[in-house]
Amino acid sequence: MIEFKNVGFGYSSKKGIAKIFENLDFTIKDNEFFCVIGPSGCGKTTLLRNVAGFEHPTEGVIMNDGRPVEGIDYRRAMVFQDDAVFPWLTVYKNVEYGLKVRGVSDDIRQEKVKHYINLVGLTGCENALPKELSGGMRKRVDLARVLANEPEVLLMDEPFGALDAMTKEVLQEKLVQIWNESKRTIFFITHDIEEALFLGDRVGLLHRLSDGGELEFFNVPFDRPRDIYLKQQPEFQAMRRRLAEKFHQSGKGGAES
């Protein structure tokens, strides 16, 4: 469980503290798939980095299972938008890397690496280098490497944003499958409203501080399991339009991608 208790964040500037967000007070439940959308500059990525421990709130506190988040911890793992694979390592060695750093024994490492490579659909590519893979396949390597450490919380910052539409949908379905099997807590940032509604249990719309800084919540009413054809259903599109209207009102110029 991730708890935000009156959380605010700002950067130091010549004029004092330039606030990004403030007074955020909410909870992400255990095993919840929580998505956040919002206009550029509202603080989505900064909020995620605070949960990861890369940065720290200037006001309030973030709690993970009752303990303050004070630094980086493998139990809260981050998947970035850009490729984070090591180009000089094979798929196998990329996925193995975190386990090796943590001192996990050879036999357990081999078991976990094989399992997660298979889980993301890369069996047969173990000896390939990243330059030999497509963008979607490299993102699968990213995901497998993070999952191999078996984090309690998966933090995802627009991980599919740079992919083509078809590859993106394939990976969305794969992520839902992985989440269904592992039931980890996922905190997912996106600009794509359809992506948020397809993936999430709940969607938070973060408004810019100049527009009140509110985090507005929307429960996603669609049953699981979901397949990609859900996006074509009238009720899905009706909710997408509702969120799109809210999105475009937030910041008076945010654009849905």
Tell me the CATH number at 28.
3.40.50.300
3-state SS, residue 185: strand
What are the 10-residue block averages of pLDDT along the chain, 257 residues in total? 93 81 94 93 92 94 93 90 90 94 92 93 94 92 92 93 89 90 91 95 91 88 90 94 87 46
Q: What is the pTM of this model?
A: 0.90
Instruction: Look at residue 252 in the predicted model and tell me its pLDDT.
Output: 59
End-to-end, the C-alpha distance of the chain in Å comes to 30
Domain containing 66 equals: 1-75+156-257
CA–CA gap between residue 45 and residue 51 (Å, rounded): 10
Look at residues 150, 170, 204 and tell me which one is the last residue of a structural domain: 150
Q: Are residues 192 and 240 in the same domain?
A: yes
The first and second tokens of residue 16, run together, are: 């004092």
Q: Are residues 56 and 97 in the same domain?
A: no
Q: Are residues 162 and 61 in the same domain?
A: yes
Look at residues 112, 131, 150 and tell me which one is the last residue of a structural domain: 150
Instruction: Look at residue 251 in the predicted model and tell me its pLDDT.
Output: 57
CA–CA gap between residue 49 and residue 149 (Å, rounded): 19
Counting the structural domains of the chain, the total is 2
Look at residues 117, 150, 183 and tell me which one is the last residue of a structural domain: 150
